[in-house]
Amino acid sequence: MTIATPLRHPDASSSQTMTKRGWWLVTMNILLPGSAQVVAGNRVLGRVGVLATLLLWLLGIVTLVVYLVSPSSIYTLFTQAGSLTLVQTLLIVYTVLWVVLTLDTLRLVRLIRTAPNARGWIAAFSVLVLVGLACTAGYASVVAGSARGALGDIFSAGPSQPPVDGRYNIMLLGGDAGPDRDGLRPDSMSIVSIDANTGQAVTIGLPRDLDPVPFPASSPLHAEYPDGYGYNDRCDVDVCQLNSIYTEVELYKPDLYPNAKKNKSEPGIEAMRDALEGATGLKIQYYVLIDMQGFADLIDALGGVDVTVTDRVPIGGDENLNGVAEWIEPGKRHLDGYHAQWYARARHGSSDYDRMARQRQLQDAILKQVNPVNVVSKFQGIATAGAQVMKTDIPQSMLGYFVDLGMKTRKLPVQQLELVPPTIDPTEPDYAQIQELVRQAVNPATAKPKGS
């Protein structure tokens, strides 16, 4: 006689025996789906359930071990469309199998034979566990599908690029395509330089009114502006300064960058890349463009951001601060999307350089909010907002690597280099000085000593 005997061939006349048997079967179905069928029902169905469960556990254990040994491998795996499709399919199939096994387990229990006061508890317990686990698996499946769609919308399928001098340099543009503007115009420009091994990052901020701006010899704009963009007020738009380059190329010279669209970029973005390379001396591998029009949605999806406000910032109003609808007051503030957007964009009552500092502050605040718990719990909103707000040429094949690198970056202090007055004069920039400051920031060990 084995333990399976009273489970498969119980004394159906004893409600006490049937109740104990019912709890045993329900518990077995929860701990090892399919085991209830193996000992008391359809053995073929049970073996399928047990095998599927053991395979799922094995996949989980292998994933955990690989994550502990090489996190970047797991990040890479789960940022690929094929892997996410497989995960979504497995979750759906296993959820359906679990539902079938649970309903079959309740059939095997034969509730009518259990004690009257136990029937409701056995059924309710089974249903609650079923609903909880099915909803969890269903949500995970939806997240996998949303991730696949968002990653495909945001990231390119282009080739990866190697680090230069051990670093990845990413151009970060904050663009504004507001209703009062003809197209998008980059209002904030910076380079995030990240050590390819340690994740140590330096943010280099450039003023939008930098003038003149040199281009590398390899740039098609170098022939147009050999002395620099804006030299002697020479340009093809009304204001000759750094952020005008995007507008000029988009409106009048898109043919200079014929491959931009194919590489998931724009002629104006490629022109800005050339300009920032010429100004800083850094080779920029990738860009990220954030459209401020959708910025509020991303902040709201993250649950808001925490910042320390040093000076009052107006919401609305004119240059004389007439008609201000509201003020963002000094102090520690938790900003929702609407207030964060105004905090980043407000032009009146402060200088362009103050606004640059606020935008950089918001970037840091957003990075602090991008943690695994926050992202998973609010993933759909973040994915939807991210697809509307962000554009980049970072290939999907590199995403896992950058996620791993970003995890390292979050643990380290981010260095800041603001190329603004009094450090530099944007109207008469000394590019030898600028490039030396950049070298000192990204690699202080090899920077030239003063006076050399």
Query: CA 195, 201, 205: angle at the middle one, nearest 5?
Result: 125
User: Given this model, what pLDDT does residue 371 score?
Assistant: 64
In a domain, 190, yes or no: yes
Output the six-digit token pair for 50.
Answer: 């047990």
Residue 184 has pLDDT above 80, yes or no: no
Q: Is the dihedral of CA 261, 263, 265, 267 positive or negative?
A: negative
Same domain? For 376 and 292 the reply is yes
Same domain? For 53 and 202 the reply is no
Let me know: does 304 contact 333? Beta carbons within 8 Å: no
In a domain, 159, yes or no: no
Residues 6 or more apart whose Cβ sits within 8 Å of residue 38: 46, 47, 50
In a domain, 10, yes or no: yes
Same domain? For 266 and 184 the reply is yes
Same domain? For 362 and 400 the reply is yes
Same domain? For 97 and 202 the reply is no
User: Given this model, what pLDDT does residue 379 score?
Assistant: 66
Tokens 């029902």 belong to residue: 41
Please report, to the nearest 10 degrees, the dihedral formed by the alpha carbons of residues 379, 385, 389, 392 taken in order.
Answer: 30
Same domain? For 247 and 375 the reply is yes
Tokens 């115009």 belong to residue: 185
User: Given this model, what pLDDT does residue 375 score?
Assistant: 64
Integer Cα distance of 71 and 63 in angstroms: 10
- Domain end, chosen from 154, 183, 198, is at 154
What mean pLDDT comes out for the span 16-21? 89
What mean pLDDT comes out for the span 397-403? 86
Residue 179 has pLDDT above 70, yes or no: no
Predicted confidence (pLDDT) per residue in 24-46, tens digit: 999 999 999 999 999 998 999 99
pLDDT band at 248 (very low <50, low <70, confident <90, very high): very high
Q: What is the CATH number of the domain that holds 187?
A: 3.40.630.190
Residue 231 has pLDDT above 60, yes or no: yes
In a domain, 257, yes or no: yes
Let me know: does 405 contact 194? Beta carbons within 8 Å: yes
Integer Cα distance of 182 and 198 in angstroms: 41
Q: What is the domain count for the chain?
A: 2
Boundaries of domain holding 371: 167-446
Same domain? For 140 and 224 the reply is no
Which one-letter DSSP state was computed for residue 254? G
Same domain? For 223 and 336 the reply is yes
pLDDT band at 176 (very low <50, low <70, confident <90, very high): low
Tokens 């566990």 belong to residue: 129
pLDDT band at 307 (very low <50, low <70, confident <90, very high): very high
What beta strand segments (E) does 295-429 contain? 305-309, 313-316, 324-328, 331-335, 390-392, 415-418
User: Given this model, what pLDDT does residue 391 score?
Assistant: 87
Kind and range of the H or E run holding 169 = strand 167-176
Same domain? For 199 and 120 the reply is no
Output the six-digit token pair for 431.
Answer: 């590019």
Residue 447 has pLDDT above 50, yes or no: no
- Domain end, chosen from 120, 154, 188, is at 154
In a domain, 452, yes or no: no
pLDDT band at 363 (very low <50, low <70, confident <90, very high): confident
In a domain, 437, yes or no: yes
Integer Cα distance of 452 and 448 in angstroms: 7
The helix/strand/coil state of 134 is helix
Same domain? For 198 and 289 the reply is yes
Whether residue 212 has a cis bond before it, omega within 30° of 0:
yes
The model's pTM is 0.77
User: Given this model, what pLDDT does residue 452 score?
Assistant: 43
Same domain? For 139 and 205 the reply is no
Predicted confidence (pLDDT) per residue in 401-446, tens digit: 888 888 888 888 889 899 998 999 999 999 999 999 999 999 876 5
Lowest mean pLDDT among 63-67, 183-187, 350-354: 183-187
Predicted confidence (pLDDT) per residue in 46-101, tens digit: 999 999 999 999 999 999 999 898 888 888 888 888 888 898 899 899 999 999 99
Integer Cα distance of 154 and 399 in angstroms: 11
Residue 347 has pLDDT above 60, yes or no: yes
Which one-letter DSSP state was computed for residue 303? T
Q: When comparing pLDDT for 251 and 320, which is higher?
A: 251
pLDDT band at 451 (very low <50, low <70, confident <90, very high): very low
User: Given this model, what pLDDT does residue 221 score?
Assistant: 97
Same domain? For 346 and 416 the reply is yes
Torsions phi, psi of 169, nearest 5? -115, 120
In a domain, 141, yes or no: yes
- Domain end, chosen from 103, 130, 154, is at 154
Integer Cα distance of 240 and 93 in angstroms: 60
User: Given this model, what pLDDT does residue 127 score?
Assistant: 87
Mean pLDDT of the chain: 87
In a domain, 306, yes or no: yes
Write out the DSSP string of 198-237: T--EEEEEE-TT--SB---TTSHHHHH-TT-BTGGG--SS
